[in-house]
Every structure is written in C-alpha cells, then in structure tokens.
Amino acid sequence: MKILVADKISPKGVAFLRSQPGFEVVEAYNSPREKLLEIVKDVQAIAVRSETKITAEVIAAAPKLQVVGRAGVGVDNVDVEAATERGVVVMNTPSGNTIATAELTFTHMLCGARPVPQAAASMREGKWDRKIFAGIELYKKALGIVGLGRIGGEVARRAQAFGMRVLAYDPYLAPSRAKAMQVEQVDLDTLLHESDYITVHMPLTDQTRYMIDEAALAKTKKGVRLFNCARGGIIKETALVAALKAGHVAAAGLDVYEDEPLPADHELRRLPNVTLTPHLGASTAEAQESVGIEIAEAIVDALRGGIIRNAVNVPSIDAATLKVLGPYLDLGAKLGTLVQQIAPQQVDKLRITYWGKIVDLDANAVTRSIQRGYLRQIGGAEVNFVNAPVLLQRLGVQVEVIKSASDSDYTELIQIEAVGPDGKIYSVAGTLIGKGNRPRIIAINGRDVEVAAEGKLLVLENADVPGMVGTVGTILGKGGVNIADMSLSRLTPGGTAYMVVRVDSEPSPAARQEIKSNPAIKMAKFVQL
C-alpha cells in the first residue's frame, strides 16, 4: 500500500512508515495542485500538516484512498464532508500538541498583561521607556476559558498556579469534571461579564464561528484582555479591531486568524496592543516529533488492522476497545443486513435498542456497524463505517438509538426495528452466546427463533399446518441444498408460524419459486449474512 507524506512531518514519523513491511512511502512536500492530483491516483493514505489542502477534487482523484492523517489538531485543510461521503477516514493528533498550545496561550496571556514584545522592540530602538510599558498582574484576576477540553484544561491548571480565579464555559462539560478541575462552571454571559482575561479553546464549527462578536464584546468588562490560540474565526476580527481601537479591549494575543497567512496590510498588524504569532501553537520540537510519530502509527494501524484512533468523522476504536466491541460489531452488521432483507425497500426509520452490558460500552461504533450492514446490499462495497450514516440520511432514513435500562432475558441484546412508510414494523434481535461470543439470532418480527447468525438463511412465514417442515426439506433436497440448522416458532396452534432454515448453499431460482408458490407459505425471504 502507498502512503503519501504531503507535508513535512517528523523524520521519526517518516522513518516509522518506511520501516513497516508492505508499505511504499512517497514524500512530496508542497506539491502544486496538478502534481498532487496525479500522485494521489494510487495512494491508500495521505499524511498532511496544515499546508496541503485535501479538497473534494483531491479526494475524487484518489479512488484507493482510505485514510487522511493530519499531524495536528485542526482539519480545516481537509474537506471532511467529501471524505466522509467517500468513506475516507480523517484522523488527527489531538494530544500531541496539547502542552505546546497551552504554553503558547499562557505566553500570550503574559504578554497581554506585561507588554514584553513592545518593550523589547523599544529597547532595540535605543529607548528606555519604563512608564509606557507598565502592566498588570495575573494574580487574583478572573480568567474565562471558553472550551475546557484538553488544552483548555492545561491552561486552567497553569492559571491556578498563578493564583487566578478560573471560570469555564463548555456546554459539554460534566459538572463532576468541572468540580474535579476546581473551576467555576458558568454560562457564556457570566463568563463575559466577570472575566478579566478570556481565552478560547473551541473547534471552529457553525455554532462557534464568531462566538466572540460585537454583541459578546459589549458584555465584557472595559479593559478585558482576549486571546485565541485555537482556530481563526471564533473571535470576529473586525469586532476585535474596533474594540481594541475604542480601548474597551486593553490587549489581545492571537496565533490563529480568519485568513491565513494574515494579510500583510491587515489592521491587526498595526495595533500596538496586540501580540501576533504566525500559527505557532504546535511549533515546538517536542510537539512536532510527537504528532509526526502519532499520525504515522495511526495511519498504519488503520490500514493494516482497521484500528481507528482519533478520527473526526467516525468513532475511534483502539486495539483494546476493538477487542471488546469486535463481537458486537459483527452481530450488529449481521442484524442490520437481516432486517434490510426482510423489510420493504423503503423504510422511514431504523430504531436500534440495546440492553445489558452493551449499554455501558460506547455503542457508537456498533450503531455504525448496524447501519453499514443495513446498507450492504443497497450501496455495495463502497459503504463503510464512515459514510453509512450519511448514505442513510440521504435515503431519508432516520436512525433512533435507545439504551434500555429494563431487564431482558439475555445478558446483552440488540434489537433493530425497521419502520415502513405505513408504520408497519419489521424487526430482528440477536445476542452473543458461549465463550467465543458467537452471534445468534433470537427473534424475527417478534417471533422467538434460535439460529446462528451466519451464512445463508431462508426465512419463511407459513400457515401452521402439518407437513410444512417436510415440504420445505423435500424442495431443498431436490435442489441439492443441505440444511445446516432450523428453528421453528409459532404463537398459537393453527395460526401462522415462522421457519428459519440455515442452508449451506443458495437454493436455485426454481426451488425458491416452488417454495413461494406453496399456498401455505405467506412470506419467503432468502437472506445472505
């Protein structure tokens, strides 16, 4: 398999890739568009930093592409939507530059409190202006952190060491986590009103774009100091410039910008109370080595063993988690395939319910496996973990996931219900049995059955009359089809019954037609798991 290293990453990361048998590594840094489109035609993976743009055009030109690895946190230079639609995993390295970015943030905060860069520039000019470079202290000031993830948490620890009061706004932060970190969890308005310093550590999304705009700045204290080492666009630059000129914002420190590189004539460059750095968040020797090695290892794991770490468009599965979830992924995929083949072609909703042990696990990957299984015969080989939710959404199929706290008759149980346009429900349920965690189908359309979830199945609904088992067996026997397993189920004598027959080979069209034409058989489906 071929891996393209499109931007310079740590030499140790490249060396690791080259040391792996079965991989060809191509280093082509800062390639022009035409050359890049040519190179990617036969690559399975691309490693980038922030320079090379992996656009929809690049993804379309790479039919074998499976993985894009970003040696860094932000994936602004990767068209994640296009990658997802194509089933390409996009991974980043969120932990490698955590300390580097947190330390740079604190450096900006210190420069915002004490104008060291301005004083140093003045000294180089031969001046000695002590009075105009007076600053303020961090001690006992309130720091508002917007986004208390890994980097925000590291900034909080450093602020506490400086004796600062730390306020945190993060809609996804559990109260117990805030308490453990000894920060005050507040809403955004409170943070804006009470903070002397504000730093942002959120990803750039539709919800966070221009989170700090004119209206937000109007709620802050006069003399507030503002910092952004996360993503350009969280702070609205025009609003910041106006507030700096008006004296409402006393100082700012920025490492990221709405447009990068920052234009040479940008007004921010001319403001004396702003410290600017050219996107240096991860620019330490330690961070670059760390993210280079981390993305190289992640790419190899994804290509070789299907282990997905730190993906931005699919649940990440490390080796330990995969070992636990593996049997559930297999069961989910087979149940998804089964329900799709017994339901009508058009359904409005898939309702997935989990019981037992799996409720306490991260079932996102299992849900995707179910979706992938459901789409297997619809979308073919191009359907995978990454694009299955997108393809279902495009089909207009809503997915509902329920983690049930009620008891079931099984240690773990997965049920999938396909709801048709008329409201009719088609359902399957399965579990794992034995030491090998073998997948087992235990119900179809509400009827209790007991059959291994593997191979080829005939699912029959028939009138509960004598001789049906013999009739079906005879038809299959005439066609040279051997029966491996059979399960029978009925609700009441003389009503309808279900027969699930696991066979070694696919019945011929003639045999299937003979079964369907039997007047006692109301439904006959051949299912390939």
Residue that has been written with the tokens 């997905």 in this structure: 308
Residue that has been written with the tokens 């891996």 in this structure: 3
Instruction: Spell out where 130-265 has E strands.
Output: 142-146, 165-169, 184-185, 197-200, 224-228, 249-254
CA distances, 63 to each of 7, 89, 213, 225, 305 (Å): 21, 13, 42, 48, 20
Task: Give catalytic status of residue 394 as yes or no.
Answer: no
Strand order in the sheet with 24-27: 24-27, 2-5, 45-48, 67-70, 89-91
Residue that has been written with the tokens 């008891």 in this structure: 407
d(CA 512, CA 523): 11
- Nearest-10 Cα torsion for 166, 169, 175, 181: -30
Which pair of structure tokens corresponds to residue 365?
């990957």
Q: Which residues of 266-287 are buried (b: 16+ CB within 10 A; e: fewer)?
A: bebeebebbbbbebebbebeeb
Say which of 70, 201, 279, 447 is annotated catalytic. 279
Concatenated DSSP letters of 389-418: HHHHHHTT-EEEEEE--S--SSSEEEEEEE
Q: Hey, what amino acid is at 248?
A: H
Task: Give catalytic status of residue 279 as yes or no.
Answer: yes
Say which of 38, 51, 260, 382 is annotated catalytic. 260
Task: Give catalytic status of residue 260 as yes or no.
Answer: yes
Say which of 70, 231, 368, 502 is annotated catalytic. 231
Instruction: Spell out where 120-256 has E strands.
Output: 142-146, 165-169, 184-185, 197-200, 224-228, 249-254
d(CA 366, CA 331): 9
Write phi, then psi, for 407 (nearest 5 degrees). Answer: -80, 150
Strand partners, 486: 501
d(CA 402, CA 351): 8
- Nearest-10 Cα torsion for 173, 175, 178, 182: 170
Q: Give catalytic residues, as residue numbers.
A: 231, 260, 279
